[in-house]
Amino acid sequence: MGASSDSGAQTPAVVTRFAPSPTGFLHIGGARTALFNYLFARHHGGQFQLRIEDTDRARSTEPAIAAIIDGLTWLDFEWDGEIVHQFARAPRHAQVANHLLVNGHAYRCYATAEELETMRAEQRAAKLPMRYDGRWRDRTDGPDGAPFVIRLKAPQTGSVTIDDLVQGPVTVANAELDDMVLLRSDGTPTYMLAVVVDDHDMGVTHVIRGDDHLNNAFRQLALIRAMNWPEPQYAHIPLIHGADGAKLSKRHGALGVDAYRDEMGLLPEAVENYLLRLGWGHGDDEIISRAQAIAWFDLKDVGRGPSRFDMKKLESVNGQYLRAADDARLVTLIEPRVATALGRAITDSDRNTLQCSMAELKKRASNLNDLASGALFFLRTRPIPMDDGATKLLASAPPGVLADARTQFAGINDWSTAALEERARALAETRGLKLGQVAQPLRAAVTGSSQSPGLFEVMAILGREETLGRIDDALDTMPAQGAN
RNA sequence: AGUCCCUUCGUCUAGCGGUCUAGGACGUCGCCCUUUCACGGCGAAAACACGGGUUCGAUUCCCGUAGGGAUCACCA
């Protein structure tokens, strides 16, 4: 990209960008901002670009940049073109500041930090708005060699109205704004300068960002006008709040997206769907595919008020996507978790078992953690552990049912769900028991728990040898019940 | 403090002057299905912040109040 790319030969009608600062991890709010930018660009057949705002050298880190890229990749928000690293463009930013200095739209300010601090203290004491008072605005007698910053000579009268695509028309009097610093005394650009210059050079047509930037937009517009550049359209989306209505914090889920993937075991499409529905709606639609989202997304449908993050609903949405997900994909996803829990590597046989049981398993899980832990009993080696519920079931089982059931099952030639169930029902009938009185002890013996997927499906998947073995194990631990 | 923004069930939202005795989803509760737990199905409770206008008629338009949020840097 050239230093000043005004050429726009084949400039797309819509160019959006996601511009995170790599000072932390990509959090959920940032992910939503990225999603809206992505969707809007794709909806209009335009471009979605990524810019890393790393001008804060002290706080920007490589791991943070990697985390941002990792998060966007996981969510599959594919950006167009090369990633723009803001810091590398510092010379261009300085060039613009100096250009403004030359044409009179900016000036040197020699006020020291201490000086400005006392100015603010006085304003605070007088209960006046704290703004730079423009003391160097019309002076050119700066001390030789003294450090200075370059400030924008912003209009002081009149007002500016931004037709925000989300917030609607917003007007602010120029008197409310002060002359912002463009270039610091060390020659580095401020964020305000850098964003405007980069957005212009990247050909950004729509600035979609958190509404914490709404106030900044007016200052940035003054700079854009001073440069006589085309003005982008703005869309300031409300920030996400925690369940208690307060700003999102770690307690609420302002975690890196990696936490949603790794710790919570969520699916990227579910996180995307949830984020999309947070502050945006399309009739009664809840589960919305990427393609539909692109077709339907419009900034005018984005709500103006902040919405609260609801983990329960996220889990629910994730559960729906989990049930619709491909079984083989889920097997792959839970493999590491299962291996860790089991303390051993997963074999092909294990994989096969997981694949066969996945349809049953996923109905009982809303995230990958649940899915993995729910699958464990299939893969444990005998004798499998019994939880409290299972122990109680075995202790209160009608005398002899387990042994009788074992005998019945052992006589089955066709080891199938249907055959297993038929024998169990027959046994219950002859002994005058309800099916549950037979099935529950069996469930305990075979799964080690009082809750599990369908018992006969489980036994069919486990196979004759393993099933019978587990029943034998249970029989061994049971106190000798008055024989027959 | 000032400036700016926002306000429909607990939560996310639909609604864009009459179709609202306000719809959907999550959550909650009940019932059904059923060998357990889930899934699934059915049903219930649950909201237009308040006060003024405008209008034949306001959830929908305007103003005020209250509440919430954003913002005060040589941070981004």
Separation of A453 CA and B9 C1' (Å): 35
**How do A106-109 and A240-241 pair as beta strands?**
unpaired
Coil, strand or helix at A408: helix
* pLDDT for the residue A3: 38
Determine the nucleotide nearest to A300 by Cα–C1' distance.
B16
Comparing A117 with A18, the larger pLDDT belongs to: A18
Given a contact cutoff of 8 angstroms between Cβ atoms, the answer to whether A230 and A32 are in contact is no
Residues A187-223 pLDDT 10s: 999 999 999 999 999 999 999 999 889 888 999 999 9
Distances from the Cα of A162 to the Cα of A172, A208, A216, A218, angstroms = 9, 13, 11, 8
Separation of A307 CA and B59 C1' (Å): 20
**Residue A372 token pair:** 């993995």
What's the rounded Cα separation, in Å, for the pair A156 and A313? 48
What's the rounded Cα separation, in Å, for the pair A79 and A365? 33
Distances from the Cα of A119 to the Cα of A146, A208, A218, angstroms = 20, 35, 23
Residue A40 pLDDT > 70: yes
Determine the nucleotide nearest to A305 by Cα–C1' distance.
B6
Lowest-pLDDT range of A117-131, A161-175, A220-234: A117-131
Comparing A290 with A478, the larger pLDDT belongs to: A290
**Residue A144 token pair:** 């030789």
Q: What b/e sequence results for A169-187 when a residue is b if at least 16 CB atoms lie within 10 Å of its CB, and e otherwise?
A: ebebeeeebbbbbbbbbee
Look up the pTM and report it.
Answer: 0.92
Residues A266-305 pLDDT 10s: 999 999 999 999 999 999 999 999 999 999 999 989 998 8
Q: Which residue is the nearest neighbor of B13, CA to C1'?
A: A281
Separation of A20 CA and B45 C1' (Å): 44
In 3D space, the residue among A427, A425, A422, A416 whose CA is nearest the CA of residue A458 turns out to be A416
Q: Which residue is the nearest neighbor of B14, CA to C1'?
A: A283
In sequence order, the 6+-apart residues with CB closer than 8 A to the CB of A454 are A360, A417
Distances from the Cα of A329 to the Cα of A267, A314, A332, A334, angstroms = 11, 20, 5, 9
Separation of A217 CA and B70 C1' (Å): 13
If pLDDT is split at 50, 70 and 90, which confidence band does A479 have? Answer: low
* pLDDT for the residue A113: 87
Determine the nucleotide nearest to A211 by Cα–C1' distance.
B70
Give the distance, in angstroms, between the CA of residue A300 and the centroid of all CA atoms in the same chain.
Answer: 23
Determine the nucleotide nearest to A450 by Cα–C1' distance.
B36
Residues A242-267 pLDDT 10s: 887 777 765 555 688 999 999 999 99
Active site residues of A: 250
Strand B positions with any atom < 7 Å from protein CB?
Answer: 1-8, 10-15, 23-27, 35-40, 68-76
Separation of A304 CA and B23 C1' (Å): 21
State the Rg of chain A over Cα.
32
If pLDDT is split at 50, 70 and 90, which confidence band does A9 have? Answer: very low
Distances from the Cα of A423 to the Cα of A397, A411, A412, A456, angstroms = 18, 10, 8, 10
Can the peptide bond before residue A383 be classed as cis, meaning omega within 30 degrees of 0?
A: yes
Average pLDDT of the segment spanning A387-413: 93
* pLDDT for the residue A102: 93
Q: DSSP letter string over A190-210?
A: PHHHHHHHHHHHTT--EEEEE
A372-376, Cβ contacts within 8 angstroms, sequence gap of 24 or more: A372/A265, A372/A334, A372/A337, A372/A338, A372/A341, A373/A337, A373/A341, A374/A453, A375/A334, A375/A338, A376/A338, A376/A341, A376/A342
Handedness of CA A421, A425, A428, A434 (dihedral sign): positive
**ipTM field:** 0.94
* pLDDT for the residue A6: 42
* End-to-end alpha carbon distance in chain A: 88
In 3D space, the residue among A425, A128, A77 whose CA is nearest the CA of residue A257 turns out to be A77
In sequence order, the 6+-apart residues with CB closer than 8 A to the CB of A377 are A384, A447, A448, A449, A452
Separation of A170 CA and B55 C1' (Å): 28
What's the rounded Cα separation, in Å, for the pair A331 and A179? 58
Determine the nucleotide nearest to A60 by Cα–C1' distance.
B76
If pLDDT is split at 50, 70 and 90, which confidence band does A484 have? Answer: very low
Separation of A165 CA and B68 C1' (Å): 22
Give strand pairing partners of A151.
A107, A181
Average pLDDT of the segment spanning A226-254: 81
Ramachandran angles phi, psi of A40, nearest 5°: -65, -45
Q: Which residue is the nearest neighbor of B39, CA to C1'?
A: A363
Determine the nucleotide nearest to A178 by Cα–C1' distance.
B72
